[in-house]
């Protein structure tokens, strides 16, 4: 969504958002997979990247198995298309109402327990399901999360997304330059959320194991937790069979001695993300170039 969007496309998105608001949820769940399969049949948006990532990460799958996973993944993108359209609905309060209808939070007690310590909470999450519900469900539950993200372009798009997030109690810290805001939030006992499944270039990212190779992974969580004493709380999301975005808050993660070793701590967090991806592989963002610096065994063999 960071590409330049023209005024006509802006109008189209707002019309699409209004139409999405009029659609029953069951219609979204019916249309989304069909749209995704159509896009895939027409050549697919970043189809090659997704197919290559799936092939490398699931070598145990045969050709048909990989094909089936790719199809289900594009069905997921089709559903995401309709879900993201709700950001652009011009009706006041719509996004908040939509988030309430399509999300369900599980594990509230784990946030309560970590929050009671008064040192702040660092949520570790990833892009599975309709990931915007990770923050929205938390915001609606009173967590008031500060999400670490980037400024979108053009400015009107960033303003629209920000306003929708704020309507659910979600704020943003924009990187680069977000560390002072993050530290202030944690020192006052607030909650900060990081997405830990995307490629992060050095020095913010370091290579740690993920699906058998070592792609660069965000390494900010452990140093910030060590500096502030904040609790590290994993939180995941997936879309269930009824189309509900189930947001699961897990117990605080005790890294023990690994907290002082950034590489070991980052590897533990990456392993948690991998567990989530393997649980719901069809709902992850396989079109992302997550492994751009990784050396796969077959690549190493070719060099030899």
Burial 43-60 (b: 16+ CB within 10 A, else e): ebeebebbbebbebbeee
Handedness of CA 258, 264, 266, 270 (dihedral sign): negative
Average pLDDT for 192-199: 96
pLDDT at 3 (0 to 100): 43
3-state secondary structure at position 26: helix
C-alpha dist (Å) from residue 206 to 40, 52, 140, 185, 291: 33, 22, 34, 25, 12
Collapsing DSSP states into helix, strand and coil, what is residue 117? coil
Instruction: Answer for the pair 234, 221: CB distance below 8 angstroms, yes or no.
Output: no
Q: In the prediction, which pLDDT does 6 show? A: 64
Given this model, what pLDDT does residue 156 score? 87
Query: pLDDT digits over 220-231, tens only?
Result: 999 999 999 999
Full-model pTM: 0.92
Mean pLDDT of the chain: 93
What are the pLDDT digits (tens) for 28-82?
999 999 999 999 999 888 999 999 999 999 999 999 999 999 999 999 999 999 9
Pairing of strands 231-239, 245-249: antiparallel
Output 239 or 155, whichever has higher pLDDT. 239
Q: pLDDT at position 120, please?
A: 97
In angstroms, the CA 246 to CA 14 distance is 27
The pLDDT score that the predictor gives to residue 128 is 98
- Say whether pLDDT at 304 is over 50: no
- Sign of the C-alpha dihedral, residues 239, 170, 273, 87? positive
Residues 104-127: what's their mean pLDDT? 97
């Amino acid at each position: 969504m960071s590409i330049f969007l023209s005024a006509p496309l802006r109008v189209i998105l707002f019309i699409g958002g209004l139409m999405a608001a009029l659609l029953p949820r069951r219609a979204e769940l019916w249309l989304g997979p069909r749209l995704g399969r159509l896009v895939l049949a027409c050549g697919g948006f970043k189809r090659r990247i997704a197919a290559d990532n799936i092939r490398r990460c699931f070598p145990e799958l045969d050709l048909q198995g990989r094909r089936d996973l790719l199809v289900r993944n594009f069905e997921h993108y089709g559903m995401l298309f309709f879900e993201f359209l709700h950001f652009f609905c011009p009706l006041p309060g719509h996004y908040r109402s939509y988030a309430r209808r399509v999300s369900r939070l599980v594990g509230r007690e784990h946030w309560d327990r970590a929050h009671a310590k008064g040192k702040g909470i660092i949520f570790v999450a990833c892009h599975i399901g309709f990931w915007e519900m990770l923050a929205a469900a938390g915001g609606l539950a009173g967590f008031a999360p500060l999400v670490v993200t980037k400024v979108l372009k053009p400015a009107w798009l960033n303003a629209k997304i920000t306003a929708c997030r704020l309507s659910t109690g979600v704020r943003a810290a924009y990187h680069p330059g977000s560390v002072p805001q993050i530290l202030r939030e944690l020192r006052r006992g607030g909650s900060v959320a990081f997405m830990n499944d995307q490629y992060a270039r050095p020095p913010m990212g370091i290579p740690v194991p993920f699906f058998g190779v070592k792609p660069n992974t965000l390494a900010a969580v452990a140093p910030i937790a060590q500096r502030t004493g904040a609790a590290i709380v994993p939180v995941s999301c997936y879309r269930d069979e009824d189309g509900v975005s189930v947001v699961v808050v897990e117990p605080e993660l005790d890294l023990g001695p690994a907290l002082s070793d950034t590489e070991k701590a980052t590897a533990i967090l990456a392993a948690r993300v991998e567990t989530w991806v393997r649980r719901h592989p069809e709902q992850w963002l396989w079109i992302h170039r997550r492994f751009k610096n990784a050396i796969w065994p077959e690549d190493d063999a070719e060099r030899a």
